A and B are shown apart, each in its own frame.
Chain A
Amino acid sequence: MKFRIRFAQQIVGIFVLVAAVSLVLVVVSMGANQRWFAKNYEFYSVFPTAEGLSVGMPIQFKGFNIGRITDITLADRDEVRVDFYIQDTYYDRVVPNSILELVSSPIGLGGGLVFHQGRGEGESLPEESLIPAINSKEGQAIVADNAVIMPASGDSITRIISQVEPVLRNVNTLLVSVDETLNHVNLALSGDQSQPLGQTLAQVNTLLSEVETTLVQTREQSNQILASAAIIAGNFEETSDALRDPTGLVPRLLDADGSIATFLDDNNRLYDQIEQMLVSVNATLDEVNSFAGFVNGTQPQIASLLQESQAAIVSGQDVLEGLSNNPLIRGGITRELSQPTTFQSYRDAQF
């Protein structure tokens, strides 16, 4: 009798047993891996739009997935309510003043929903609490109070991009303030305002102080951006100097008394590394090229924005001059020395 006929019961038994055990093992592993029996803590947030968000999207904290979006609904006042959970192992990180940020790179690299932990000690937020989005009022207030730990972005380009948005917001606030100031002054001068001129001037004074604060903030943020840009430009400058220097890298390499023989006698390792570097440089240049395309595309909008800002500032200057010449204001407004810009266009850079 054939072996498999003789031991049919045993063979089939083993066959069924292996399949059953495998199935059970897979199901148990799935349960352990997908945390079926672990507790999740539910929270919610409010975003202005659902663009870039999706159900199941992970929530990241320092590069770790600490939770997921469970539901996205259009709530009252056309706001988007995002329900999500945080895993029990990371629940102690959810302290007051924590915020969420939807990160998306304009050049298509990276992105996701990032959790920023609130500063200081404190008990974890209770379940079903609101964790505000960074672009909400609550989130902006937390950021302004410096009550949240916001890690700096890794690369200069992302840092510049992240700084441009607050600058534009401040410029917008500045323009609105200048517009309000002009309205107040116009109303006062045309006699359409019922309140006394002194009160109007006091309001103008307040507005101007707000303008000054905004200008200071804008200047600080602009300086940060310019500093980042200056670092990049400095790096380029150092590289180009090193290449231009007649006593630099190339003559030293070609020096007859130098150690070029040692360099070359290495089984092509040096050339392989140079080749790898050239490939990397090529890839980097491609990325720079695509970024330059993006910048070129948005340049007209930035230019028109700057022109409008300049016109508004000139108008504001006229108003300030008029106010300083007004004998009704004692002492006037302290004259500020004009600060020449340190910004140079990319064309002015030396290569």
Chain B
Amino acid sequence: MVLIERIGKRAFETGRGFSYAMGFFFLILRESFFYIRQRKSRRVLTFQILFTAVEALPVIAILSLGLGAIIIIQGVALLPQFGQGQLVYTILITVITRELGPILTAFIIAARSGTAIATELGNMVVSHEIEAYMANGISPISYLVVPRFLGVTISLVLLNVYFNIFGLLGSYFVTALLATIDFRDYFTNLLNALTVVDVMVSLLKSAVSGAIISTVATYYGFKVEQASTEVPVMAIKSVGQGFILLITANAFLTVMYYLWL
């Protein structure tokens, strides 16, 4: 009986937590709409993009360069043996642009900026800053969450574009050090293999990932109640929960892509 009671209690808590998270997400969406419409101060947003996107660029660049170079080198060495040399471009597009690019970028940002946002907001809760904002009539959602939500979402989209630039073009120059590949042939074949749908799906995945990371990070940041020891716990939870949601959302979008196209 105790076990059943516990399961029931857990289910209720999960359901309540889910509905609270959904309400939190829709509140962020609504406040974001007002934020864009009322042209509020862009300074917090600019700093969020600076911290999330610009400072993460070196990591993203190295990762995408390495990944792209490995695909090109392996593809150029192996695929022509089966008479499928042209497939290297399709594989590059599939891996860099459509599948791994968005999710790897999201993982890096979730681990890097997601934890930072959750920790920062958690510490603000512990030091009663949030209460001070509310006491002064400032909504913590519109002032603290929305710039981070928009900043992370925009950063993810921008970083995905850079991931593609480094992964598709930069990796060519890395490979050119080891093998002779004509740049014009490479670029033309790449553009032939790339479609608008690939680009749109990639950007959509990044935008969804950005929304997930920022919502989860702010949600767990505000979940801190009193003690500073709760802050790292919530930061870890935000990363774990964020990863699960990121994989699920990416898998869902990939399935939708293959079902509809």
Contact between B162 and A34 (Cβ–Cβ < 8 Å)? no
- Smallest CB-CB separation from B188: which chain A residue? A33
A34 to B195, CA, bound (A): 9
27 A/B residue pairs, CB under 8 Å, sorted by A: A4-B50, A4-B54, A8-B46, A8-B47, A12-B46, A12-B50, A12-B53, A12-B54, A15-B53, A15-B54, A15-B57, A15-B158, A19-B158, A19-B161, A22-B165, A23-B161, A26-B164, A26-B191, A26-B194, A26-B199, A27-B196, A29-B191, A30-B195, A30-B196, A33-B188, A33-B192, A34-B192
- Smallest CB-CB separation from B54: which chain A residue? A15
Q: Which residues of A (53-87) have their CB < 8 Å from a CB of B?
A: none
A33 to B89, CA, bound (A): 15
Q: Which residues of A contact B196 (CB under 8 A)?
A: 27, 30
Q: Which residues of A contact B192 (CB under 8 A)?
A: 33-34
Q: Which residues of B (158-212) have their CB < 8 Å from a CB of A?
A: 158, 161-162, 164-165, 188, 191-192, 194-196, 199
Contact between A22 and B49 (Cβ–Cβ < 8 Å)? no
Asked if A11 is at the interface (CB within 8 A of a chain B CB), the reply is yes
Asked if A9 is at the interface (CB within 8 A of a chain B CB), the reply is yes
Contact between A11 and B191 (Cβ–Cβ < 8 Å)? no
A266 to B191, CA, bound (A): 47
Return the CB mask of A165-206 against B: 1 if under 8 Å, else 0.
000000000000000000000000000000000000000000
Asked if A141 is at the interface (CB within 8 A of a chain B CB), the reply is no
A22 to B161, CA, bound (A): 8
Q: Which residues of A contact B158 (CB under 8 A)?
A: 15-16, 19
A176 to B124, CA, bound (A): 95
Q: Which residues of B contact A29 (CB under 8 A)?
A: 191
- Smallest CB-CB separation from B48: which chain A residue? A12
A12 to B47, CA, bound (A): 8
Q: Which residues of B contact A34 (CB under 8 A)?
A: 191-192
Contact between B50 and A11 (Cβ–Cβ < 8 Å)? yes
Contact between A15 and B188 (Cβ–Cβ < 8 Å)? no
A275 to B31, CA, bound (A): 75
Q: Which residues of A contact B57 (CB under 8 A)?
A: 15
The distance from the CB of B156 to the nearest CB of chain A, in whole angstroms, is 12
A16 to B49, CA, bound (A): 9
Q: Which residues of B contact A16 (CB under 8 A)?
A: 49, 154, 158
Q: Which residues of A (4-41) have their CB < 8 Å from a CB of B?
A: 4-5, 8-9, 11-12, 15-16, 19, 22-23, 26-27, 29-30, 33-34
- Smallest CB-CB separation from B57: which chain A residue? A15
Contact between A15 and B49 (Cβ–Cβ < 8 Å)? yes
Q: Which residues of B (19-60) have their CB < 8 Å from a CB of A?
A: 46-47, 49-50, 53-54, 57
Contact between A9 and B46 (Cβ–Cβ < 8 Å)? yes
Interface size class of A (residues with CB under 8 A): 10 to 19
A299 to B65, CA, bound (A): 54
Contact between A33 and B54 (Cβ–Cβ < 8 Å)? no
Contact between B199 and A27 (Cβ–Cβ < 8 Å)? yes
The distance from the CB of A4 to the nearest CB of chain B, in whole angstroms, is 7
Contact between A11 and B54 (Cβ–Cβ < 8 Å)? yes
- Smallest CB-CB separation from B53: which chain A residue? A15
A15 to B52, CA, bound (A): 12
Return the CB mask of B47-87 against A: 1 if under 8 Å, else 0.
10110011001000000000000000000000000000000
The distance from the CB of B188 to the nearest CB of chain A, in whole angstroms, is 6
A4 to B49, CA, bound (A): 12
- Smallest CB-CB separation from B159: which chain A residue? A19
Q: Which residues of B contact A33 (CB under 8 A)?
A: 188, 191-192
A22 to B57, CA, bound (A): 15
Contact between A30 and B194 (Cβ–Cβ < 8 Å)? yes
Contact between B53 and A30 (Cβ–Cβ < 8 Å)? no
- Smallest CB-CB separation from B158: which chain A residue? A19
The distance from the CB of B190 to the nearest CB of chain A, in whole angstroms, is 9
Contact between A19 and B162 (Cβ–Cβ < 8 Å)? yes
Q: Which residues of B contact A27 (CB under 8 A)?
A: 196, 199
- Smallest CB-CB separation from B55: which chain A residue? A4
The distance from the CB of A18 to the nearest CB of chain B, in whole angstroms, is 8
Q: Which residues of B contact A26 (CB under 8 A)?
A: 164, 191, 194, 199
Given known A4-B54, A19-B162, A23-B161, contact A12–B49 (CB-CB < 8 A): yes
A120 to B250, CA, bound (A): 57
A12 to B56, CA, bound (A): 13
Q: Which residues of A contact B53 (CB under 8 A)?
A: 12, 15
Contact between A30 and B47 (Cβ–Cβ < 8 Å)? no
Q: Residue A8 contacts which of B50, B162, B194, B199 (CB distance < 8 angstroms)?
A: B50
A8 to B50, CA, bound (A): 7
A171 to B158, CA, bound (A): 68
- Smallest CB-CB separation from B151: which chain A residue? A12
A136 to B188, CA, bound (A): 36
Q: Which residues of B contact A23 (CB under 8 A)?
A: 161, 199
The 9 residue pairs across chains A and B that have the minimum distance between CB atoms:
A33-B191, A19-B161, A19-B158, A8-B50, A12-B49, A12-B46, A30-B191, A15-B54, A12-B50
A12 to B159, CA, bound (A): 12
Q: Which residues of A contact B46 (CB under 8 A)?
A: 8-9, 12
